[in-house]
Amino acid sequence: MDARIESEPNPLKNLTTAERKSERELLVTRTFNAPARIVFDAWTKPELLLRWWAPKSFGVSFLSCELDVRVGGKYRFVFAHPASEQPMAFFGRYLEVTPHSRLVWTNEEGGDGGAVTTVTFAEKDGKTLLVMHDLYPSKEALDDAIASGSTGGTWETFEQLDVLLVDLGASVGRS
């Protein structure tokens, strides 16, 4: 199981890779041209996170973004989408918080099938390699997420996510 995909070479943007690392794992990697403390801040301060988590091309907008970044602390993101009357929510708890190097949280909106996400920030020569690892409870849970069009962070309504992905696909196709 090694479905690995890399983005087009682009001198301006760093490569984002995604792969299914195993039956239960997804891995996303990306390098940022900044020290780990800066990248970590952007993941842990709500006023910064809401500026990048839902890009315009997604067609969704934040209704609220609450982060209590400490072990056991909760987070909750709520989005609006023009195609949906009901808002969409992501929520869960932080299991580990190591400043500037490691975050672990649960994804609980999908019930028992949700992944545990680990993000590590490794700084080298002023750049930060970010590795995001989603571990699903079983092969079936990840297969189901793929089959239903979910994106690891599972959504309350898969249908709404499909809309999101179609929008995203369309905007990628245009560019």
Partner 1 sequence: MRYILNRMVQFSRTRLDASFAALSDATRRGVLEQLGRADASITDLAEKFHMTLTGMKKHVGVLEQAGLVTTEKVGRVRTCKLGQRRLEEEVAWIERYRQLWASRFDELDKVVEELKRKEKVDGRKN
- Binding site residues, partner 1, CB under 8 A: 2-7, 13-14, 16-20, 26, 28, 30, 32-34, 38-39, 41-42, 48, 51-53, 55, 57-58, 132, 146-147, 149, 151-152, 165, 168-169, 172-173
Residue 166 beta carbon to partner 1: minimum distance, rounded to whole angstroms = 9
Residue 51 beta carbon to partner 1: minimum distance, rounded to whole angstroms = 5
Residue 88 beta carbon to partner 1: minimum distance, rounded to whole angstroms = 14
Rounded Cα–Cα distance for residues 53 and 58 (Å): 10
Residue 66 beta carbon to partner 1: minimum distance, rounded to whole angstroms = 19
Between residues 85 and 161, which has the closer beta carbon with respect to partner 1? 161
Between residues 4 and 70, which has the closer beta carbon with respect to partner 1? 4
* Core vs surface per residue 106-127: b (16+ CB within 10 A) or e: bbebbeebbbbbbbbbebeeee
Between residues 10 and 72, which has the closer beta carbon with respect to partner 1? 10
Between residues 106 and 151, which has the closer beta carbon with respect to partner 1? 151
